[in-house]
Amino acid sequence: MIGFSILVRRDLRLAFRGGTDAMMGVIFFVLAAILFPFGVGPDAAVLPRIGGGIIWVVALLAALLSLERMFAADHEDGSLDLLYLSPVSLGQLALAKAFAHWLTSGVLLLIASPVLALLYNLPSAAFLPLVATMALGTPTLSLVGAIGAALTLGARRGGVLLALLLLPLYIPVLIFGAGAIDGAIAGRDITPQLMVLGGFLLAALALAPWATAAALRQAIE
Amino acid sequence: MLHRFANPARFSRIAARVLPWSATLTGLLFIAGIYFALFVSPADYQQGDTVRIMYVHVPSAWMAMACYTFIAAMSAISLIWKHLLADIAARAAAPLGAGFTVIVLTTGSLWGKPTWGTWWVWDARLTSVLVLFFLYLGHIALTHAFDNPQRGARAAAVLALVGFVNIPIIKFSVDWWNTLHQPASLTRLDRPAIDPAMLTPLLLMGLAFMAYFVTMLLIRMRADLNAARARALQLSAAE
């Protein structure tokens, strides 16, 4: 457990010392979401209808942006090999990395999403569901993303490859995340969607570090 | 059993002996299946002759899923026992599976236009098969993304196992959600809900697709092994 918190703190320090790097994901998130009203027109009837889905899609893409660097920097300077030799297990390392990634991307997206909801004129009934689905969904994105980041370690054209591998796996989170917001706007009970998202999170929490560790082992050996 | 076939040289010998037979079988099954599908089986009373698309659509759907299951099984063997041939088998099967998925999506679309009135609907069965197609593409891309082919094979093996969650979703999507796509008519607990006159060509085509898969898999695996040998000989000649 001590190893876990040391790893998380190290990653957070690296992320925030890097200055603007951590903010890039959020800036992309807001900017990409702002493009849609230009594309489909600022119709006040259309935007609330599609807003929840767009915010979720853009959140998936924003989460992808910083994933490529999750293990790459440690792999290049050799610290990944040292971490492999350290008493911290690879599964724990994967969990710590995913948690740090979530703190530097998912949480920021979570904070920024109500602003986007305002821009899209989402009804006030959708705000809490939006934040709740983001809170349950974005950790899953980081956990599953860690698998992809470990698999593409050292690959040619890793970034595009990462998107190809991960976006299909992100679709279930997108379906239930956006579905919950639509349901809330229509006045339906969204407990089922939240429970499914929570189920995804628990499953990812249990299985993803394990798969990430398997992928990391292939990359290091 | 597993380790008996681990030897690439022995595998090549066995494959060379099996190949003519499986190729002949594929040809015969396709001739019989297509004959039954186009000439013997009746047209549907509602769909007319478009029902014959099913004889290509359903077998390729079976093979698209069976092939992914095969890749996932090979990946597990490759990760657990570090089996060289399992890597080669998974690598050889992936483009075949992607091909089957393209066939099932296009034939489904061609059938959907006259029957449902649309080329595509976002229903759970269709969407999950589309996701399967991208899983195949990701698998192929990851296999070839590394300078060290073994690293690519191992990474793709982990991906194949992670992506395997999609297979039960495809299979049960017609039961879990109320989809436009019809539920299974063959794999039911009671008797198949399909007339024997249509079942015969369907099963023949299913067997033909399976024999085709085996034949192509053996050819591709042998080609892969031969390419590796050619590379090794080239390297030793250069020294």
**Domain segments of chain A: what residues?**
2-220
Whole-number pLDDT of residue B138: 92
- The yes-or-no verdict on residue B89 having pLDDT over 80 is yes
Spatial separation of the C-alpha atoms in residues B108 and B100, rounded to whole Å: 12
Q: What percent of chain B has pLDDT over 90?
A: 43
Q: Is B48 helix (H, G, I), strand (E, B) or coil?
A: strand
pLDDT by residue (tens digit) across A127-146?
Answer: 999 999 999 999 999 999 99
Q: pTM of this prediction?
A: 0.87
Chain A residue numbers touching B137 (CB-CB < 8 A): 164
Average pLDDT taken over every residue of chain A: 89
Query: What single-letter amino acid sits at A141?
Result: L
Whole-number pLDDT of residue A207: 92
Size of interface A-B (CB pairs under 8 A): 56
The larger pLDDT score, comparing residue B226 to residue B50, is at: B226
- The minimal CB distance from B141 to the residues A161, A168, A218 is found for A161
Cβ neighbours around A64 below 10 Å, total: 22
Whole-number pLDDT of residue B150: 85
Taking CA–CA distances from B76, the nearest residue in chain A reads A214
The larger pLDDT score, comparing residue A133 to residue A16, is at: A133
pLDDT (mean) for A176-182 = 90
The CATH classification of domain B21-40+50-181+195-238, taken from the options 3.90.1280, 1.10.3470, 2.60.40, 1.20.120: 1.20.120
CB B67 within 8 A of CB B213: yes
- The minimal CB distance from B141 to the residues A164, A171, A211 is found for A164
CA dihedral over B16, B22, B24, B27, signed as positive or negative: negative
Spatial separation of the C-alpha atoms in residues A157 and A92, rounded to whole Å: 27
- The yes-or-no verdict on residue A150 having pLDDT over 60 is yes
Whole-number pLDDT of residue B186: 63
Residue linked to tokens 């483009």: B95
Q: How sure is the predictor about B1, in pLDDT bands with cuts at 50, 70 and 90?
A: low
**What residues pair up with B44 in beta bridges, in sequence order?**
B48
pLDDT by residue (tens digit) across A23-82?
Answer: 888 899 999 999 999 998 888 888 888 888 999 999 999 988 888 888 888 888 888 888
Whole-number pLDDT of residue B96: 96
Numbered residues of chain A with Cβ closer than 8 Å to any chain B Cβ: 147, 151-152, 154-158, 161, 164-165, 167-169, 171, 211, 214-215, 218-219
Tokens linked to B231: 């590379």
pLDDT by residue (tens digit) across B151-202?
Answer: 888 899 999 998 888 888 877 777 766 667 777 766 655 556 677 778 888 9
pLDDT (mean) for B129-154 = 90
Low-confidence winner among A24-38, B115-129, B207-221 (lowest mean pLDDT)? B115-129
Chain B residue numbers touching A165 (CB-CB < 8 A): 138, 141-142, 159
Whole-number pLDDT of residue B5: 61
Domain ranges for chain B, please list them. 21-40+50-181+195-238
Low-confidence winner among A209-213, B58-62, B169-173, B191-195 (lowest mean pLDDT)? B191-195
Which of B158, B161, B166, B177 to probe by mutation at the A interface, max A CB count within 10 Å?
A: B158
**What residues pair up with B48 in beta bridges, in sequence order?**
B44
CA dihedral over B160, B103, B124, B66, signed as positive or negative: negative
CB A144 within 8 A of CB A208: yes
Spatial separation of the C-alpha atoms in residues A199 and A106, rounded to whole Å: 18
Tokens linked to A104: 């530097």
Check A218 against B158: CB less than 8 A apart.
yes
Most confident of A115-124, A148-157, B90-99: B90-99
pLDDT (mean) for B199-219 = 93
Contacts 24+ apart (CB under 8 A), A70-79: A70/A97, A70/A98, A70/A101, A70/A145, A70/A146, A70/A149, A70/A150, A71/A97, A71/A149, A71/A150, A71/A153, A71/A216, A71/A219, A72/A149, A72/A153, A72/A158, A73/A14, A75/A153, A75/A154, A75/A219
- The minimal CB distance from A218 to the residues B127, B131, B155 is found for B155
How far is the CA of A180 from the CAs of A28, A53, A132, A136, A137, in angstroms?
24, 10, 9, 12, 11
